[in-house]
């Protein structure tokens, strides 16, 4: 034969194209997630933070909490109360004995209708990075009047049709499943340790007093605490 017919080039099948599209989708998703993680949260909507808090003094929350338990009356703490107190107390703590253990530049609390968000700000190469944990309260009252309460480390499910996992917090602006909190739990435990005394049977620090409260609810912009009830407390998960 004078001329040989050239064999046709094999055409890429649909499976190959789908695989390429799938890989591009994964790479694009990872890039978008990394970008969201690198973007710090906007804290300007939080009362008691930023330039608006300059010159404002904080309430002595330890004394206020102790008086509420002693007097048996309901106590309401605003978002501003909490953040001004955090600013003043942590400013002192970081310069003292806890300087090596407490590794953060700022802490803020955002109070929403049914959950709180604890936000840490760290500086990395001069750039702010944020990470946060969501906390909410689950309470139920037994027929005998005993109130069972538990602190849960999430703000609820991503969608009502997908109950697990819950949204545990945010790395930057990216919402993360609650299981990812294990990566940053030591930082939050160090923060909690500043406001808790694990060696004392009686409440002596801020979180000790909060945990003595019979009822507490998180509302938009405020934390409501009530010491009056016959209660049996459930332990906080992970000792937080």
Give the per-residue pLDDT at 3: 53
Please tell me the least confidently modeled range out of 37-46, 160-169, 171-180: 160-169
Residue 105 has pLDDT above 50, yes or no: yes
Give the per-residue pLDDT at 5: 56
Give the whole-angstrom CA distance, residue 185 versus residue 206.
20
Q: Which two tokens stand for residue 175?
A: 């919402």
Residue 39 has pLDDT above 70, yes or no: yes
Residue 212 has pLDDT above 80, yes or no: yes
Closest CA to 136 of 197, 99, 174, 178: 178
Give the whole-angstrom CA distance, residue 47 versus residue 53.
8
Q: Which two tokens stand for residue 102?
A: 């407490």
**Most distant CA atoms of the chain, gap in Å:** 108
Q: Give the mean model confidence (pLDDT) for residues 212-225.
A: 92
Choice between 218 and 10, residue whose per-residue pLDDT is larger: 218
Choice between 238 and 214, residue whose per-residue pLDDT is larger: 214
Spell 43-82 as b/e; 16+ CB within 10 A means b.
beebbbbeeeeeeeebeebbebbbebbeeeeebebebbbb
Q: Which two tokens stand for residue 156?
A: 């609820």
Give the per-residue pLDDT at 20: 77
Percent of the chain predicted with pLDDT > 70: 84
Give the per-residue pLDDT at 115: 94
Residue 151 has pLDDT above 90, yes or no: no
Sequence-distant (6+) residues with CB within 8 A of 87 are: 48, 49, 53, 58, 106
Q: What are the sequence ranges of the domains in the chain? A: 20-239
pTM tops 0.95 = no
Q: Give the mean model confidence (pLDDT) for residues 213-237.
A: 77
Confidence of residue 8 (pLDDT cuts 50, 70, 90): low
Residues in the chain: 240
Give the per-residue pLDDT at 78: 96
Give the whole-angstrom CA distance, residue 47 versus residue 27.
38
Q: Give the mean model confidence (pLDDT) for residues 10-22.
A: 70
Distance of CA 55 to the CA centre of its chain: 27
Give the whole-angstrom CA distance, residue 165 versus residue 184.
17
Please check whether residue 116 is in contact with residue 46, taking contact to mean a CB–CB distance below 8 angstroms.
no
- Residue 222 CB neighbour total at 10 angstroms: 16
Give the whole-angstrom CA distance, residue 237 versus residue 152.
7
Give the whole-angstrom CA distance, residue 169 versus residue 171.
7
Give the whole-angstrom CA distance, residue 168 versus residue 171.
10
Confidence of residue 10 (pLDDT cuts 50, 70, 90): low
Give the whole-angstrom CA distance, residue 180 versus residue 185.
9
Give the per-residue pLDDT at 163: 75
Give the whole-angstrom CA distance, residue 128 versus residue 84.
20
């Amino acid at each position: 034969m004078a001329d040989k017919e050239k064999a046709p080039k094999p055409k890429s099948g649909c499976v190959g194209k789908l695989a390429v599209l799938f890989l591009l989708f994964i790479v694009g998703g990872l890039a978008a997630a990394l970008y969201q993680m690198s973007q710090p949260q906007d804290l300007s909507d939080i009362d008691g933070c930023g330039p608006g808090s300059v010159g404002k003094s904080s309430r002595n929350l330890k004394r206020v909490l102790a008086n509420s338990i002693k007097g048996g009356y309901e106590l309401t703490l605003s978002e501003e109360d909490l953040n001004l107190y955090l600013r003043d107390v942590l400013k002192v703590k970081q310069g003292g004995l806890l300087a090596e253990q407490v590794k953060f530049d700022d802490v803020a609390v955002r109070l929403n209708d049914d959950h709180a968000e604890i936000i840490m700000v760290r500086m990395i190469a001069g750039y702010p990075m944020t990470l946060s944990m969501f906390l909410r309260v689950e309470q139920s009252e037994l027929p005998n009047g005993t109130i069972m309460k538990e602190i849960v480390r999430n703000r609820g499910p991503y969608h009502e049709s997908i109950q697990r996992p819950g949204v545990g917090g945010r790395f930057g602006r990216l919402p993360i499943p609650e299981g990812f909190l294990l990566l940053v739990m030591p930082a939050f435990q160090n923060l909690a340790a500043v406001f808790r005394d694990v060696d004392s049977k009686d409440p002596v620090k801020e979180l000790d007093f909060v945990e003595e409260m019979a009822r507490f609810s998180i509302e938009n912009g405020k934390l409501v605490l009530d010491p009056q009830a016959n209660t049996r407390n459930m332990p906080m998960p992970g000792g937080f």
